[in-house]
Structure 1
Amino acid sequence: MNIHWTQGNTIQLLENGEEFYPAVQEAVAQAREEILLETFILAEDKVGIALKDALVQAAARGVRITLTVDDYGSPAFSESFLAELRAVGITLLVFDPRPRAFGMRTNLFRRMHRKLIVIDRTVGFIGGLNFCADHLGDYGPEAKQDYAVRVTGPIVGDMHMALRQTLAPARKRFRWPRRAAPLAAGAPISQTGGVSMALVLRDNDRHRTDIERSYRMAIRLARREIIIANAYFLPGYRLLRDLAKAARRGVHVQLILQGQPDMPWVRATSMVLYDYLIKAGVEIHEYCQRPLHGKVAIVDDEWATVGSSNLDPLSLSLNLEANVMIRDRAFNRELRSNLTGLMHNHCQLARPSGTPVLRYWRLGLGWLMFHFLRRFPAWAGWLPAHKPSLLPGHRRVDGAQTLTDESEQGAV
């Protein structure tokens, strides 16, 4: 694993849609040349429509825009929604479109789960928020708790390169509209601040374990404190072992996990690991105010991460993910203050199993889970090793995105 650290960046923490969406809207409104945007979910609700309107306005003044969505996360748009994008030359691409079987989506595995935005190669956004209304507080009890960051400086060049690498194979295979984003790397980006950052990706080629290994390296080097807030916590057994070892050597290890998950199986599967971690001295705080969707962590005063990767088998072994690693004391203090506030005000401390029967049941299930996690990456390799494609998403037939001929697919 070779992580490329860049110096001289600035970073701004954005909590939930109330901070993230206005920041993106402002940056889009100021765009002059190019917008590249990847998201797992783009919903045709008030958030998605507001983004679409802002992109249409930018394209109308000459900005080149490429918008990439995942076919599983964003399975369909109305014809009117697509027509507005098409009218101003916005390139809409769909990652790995697959036909439905008996009305059900068939492309669950190997998803494009990243959330990346680069505007004019000067400002970037990365985090866990999709473009949908359930990231706003007024959505109700099911509104998600999540984080992203706005960045400037040389790290934006790495983010731009990552987006270009996704687009490059597809560009060779089908005809792009006049305003398609160029693939030129551009000049080096000047330093804008004092933050050290690294973009770490997970793919199914050369970077299969980079994010997990970055977490494990930070955990192994921890001396005082680890705080991890993660929506779907079912990591590999090596990462679990590293957390337990850190707690046993005196590191204050705190996990913020879902107490009211948006998917009921999440808490049930995570709980089988509770006794093992609590016995080692790990504190587990269940966030109960709303569904937790964040994917952030801090270690001591020096290291933090924000991104799209959950600590579960899908994110760590199958999906395309993107996290940024951060070395900056001021950012660590801000994120630590936020997470500590969650623990103190909106979490309940998990306790060990109360009865011997329940403890032994969890012990047996935990043993099976550990062996499952140990072998899952190898098993994942047995899944169909198709090469996911990026296809144009403007044409529709019978209400589904049919995109282009099979001969025009471009591997990503």
Structure 2
Amino acid sequence: MKFQWKEGNRADLLINGSEYFPAVFDAIRAARREILIETFIIFNDEVGQALKAALIDAASRGVRIEVTVDGYGTADLDGDYIAELAAAGVHMHSYDPQPRRLGVRTNLFRRLHRKIVVVDGELAFISGINYGWDHLPEKYAMGKQDYGVRVRGPIVGDIRRAARALLVEHQAVQDLPDSQGETAPAGDAPMRLAIRDNYRHRTDIEDHYVAAIRAARRRLLIANAYFFPSYRLWHELRTAARRGVDVILILQGRPDMPWARVLSSSLYSYLLKDGIRIYEYKERPLHAKIAIADEEWATVGSSNLDPLSLSLNLEANLFIRDAELNRQLHAHLTGLIDDSCHLITPEVAERGRWWRAPLMFMSYHFLRHFPVSMGWQPGHTPRLEPLTDKPPGKQQALDDADKEGYESERNG
């Protein structure tokens, strides 16, 4: 399945769960025929409960609903939650669930990391946002800063085809129509969907990033949660900076997982030498997977710029040519830089380099080759299983005090 640029679309920027969740839930409540959802994580909390209520309401109206979650990210969702949705007629699927070993989840690699919603083949959402309280930064101190887009137009057909293909190829459904007709134009923005899988689309998202970096003439601004790029992305960013492009990275300064910052910061000295500016976002955990180039190009989606996203996980990003969306993202991100970021100087980057340099060398080259070695040892074929037979039991809820200091164990 190869996706092309589609004309005639409109994208609305949604910042954080406070904008994203109401928009998604309103769309679910307005659905008439079909809802397709893919996500890495659902928590049984205030957000998960709101999602469940909206889905049950839609199912009661006869809407067909297919929800696919990741077997690692949503391993702790309790049976009662699942049973309520199943009883209402919601079809739930788990991507590559695996048994625990000594109580520990071992199925870390090749995860379903996409965050997609398609409603009636007419409206779609793509983001990096999971369904949980930790995407409400306005309410919780450790809530994550993140982004999504609501899109209308012909591009929705491609997003639906990608969501349908996952279900059909894993034989989770047999009767989901291939097409609901061409979606009418809704704007003037060209868009292209890129997915990453372990079969035919191994480098599609990375290829689009590389093309945008090579084409940039004035500015590149990347905000990414887990930044440990491939050789060629690193090379292209440094080359762009050397030819005079203003290359800016916004990375985690208050990470939900400290190792992520350790790995990213090990590259700082090399990036700064080529004139790349690096800012660390300090206000809260940064979960962004967005970028802009010059005055028109932008991308929003689920893919980090690290080995898991670029080489192992199933991901989905939209690539958008829209001057207004680019302007909104630029204004927002420069506002973050002014208000909530710390500039990394060469002096800061060099601190502790005497012990970090050997660690950086070993970890960088190991992680760059690790996905290849994983490809040599597939172990098993990922599968979709119905999520209806989990034993009842309550997922342990986090109280507000816990949420203030919560550190996620999932690279979501």
Contact 1:232 1:310 in 2 (8 A): yes
Match of 1:196 among 190, 193, 201: 190
**Paired residue for 1:115?**
115
Residues 317 and 380, structure 1, Cα contact 8 Å, conserved in 2: no
Contact 2:78–2:394 (Cα < 8 Å) also in 1: no
Structure 1 residues 10-409: aligned runs within 5 Å: 10-171=10-171, 182-353=176-347, 358-397=352-391
Residues in 1 aligned to 2:140 and 2:56: alpha-carbon distance in whole angstroms: 29
CA distance in 1, matches of 2:233, 2:44: 37
- Higher deviation after alignment, 39-48 or 366-375: 366-375
User: Deviation at 1:360?
Assistant: 4.2
State the TM-score, normalizing by the size of structure 1. 0.91
Evaluate the alpha carbon distance shift between residue 330 and residue 87 of structure 1 in structure 2; reply closer, same or farther with a 3 A threshold.
same
Q: Displacement of 1:353 after TM fit?
A: 4.1
- Contact 1:67/1:90 (CA < 8 Å) preserved in 2? yes
Could you tell me how far 1:140 is from its partner in structure 2? 2.2
d(CA) in 2 for partners of 1:357, 1:88: 57
Distance in 1 of aligned mates of 2:308 and 2:341: 26
Q: Deviations over 1:279-320 (max 9, x none)?
A: 110000000000000100001012110000000110011000
Kept in 1: contact 2:116–2:127 (CA 8 A): yes
Q: CA contact under 8 A between 1:36 and 1:181: conserved in structure 2?
A: no
Structure 2: segments with no counterpart, 5+ residues? 396-412
> Identity of counterpart residues, as a percentage?
53
Which residue type is aligned with residue 283 of structure 1? R
CA distance in 2, matches of 1:329, 1:184: 33
- Aligned equivalents of 2:97 and 2:343: distance in 1? 42
- Corresponding pairs, count: 395
Q: Which aligned segments of 4 or more residues in structure 1 are displaced greater than 6 angstroms? A: none
Tell whether the 8 Å contact from 1:285 to 1:348 is kept in structure 2 after alignment: yes
Cα offsets for 1:39-93 (capped at 9, x unmatched): 0001111001100000000000110001110011001333331222122211010
Aligned counterparts of 1:138 and 1:22: Cα–Cα separation in 2: 14
For residues 301 and 259 of structure 2, what CA distance do their matches in structure 1 show? 23
Distance of aligned partners of 1:65 and 1:276 in 2 relative to their CA distance in 1, 3 Å threshold:
same
Q: 1:121 to 1:317 in 2, by over 3 A?
A: same
Distance, in Å, in 1 between the alignment partners of 2:114 and 2:120 is 19
SS in 1 for 2:69: strand
Quote the Cα distance in structure 1 between the aligned partners of 2:226 and 2:137: 21
Query: Does structure 1 retain, via aligned residues, the 8 Å contact 2:128–2:148?
Result: yes
Per the alignment, residue 406 of structure 1 pairs with none
- 1:26 and 1:371 map into 2 onto residues whose CA distance is 46
Residue 400 of structure 1, CA deviation: 11
What is the distance in 1 between the residues matched to 2:351 and 2:306?
Answer: 27
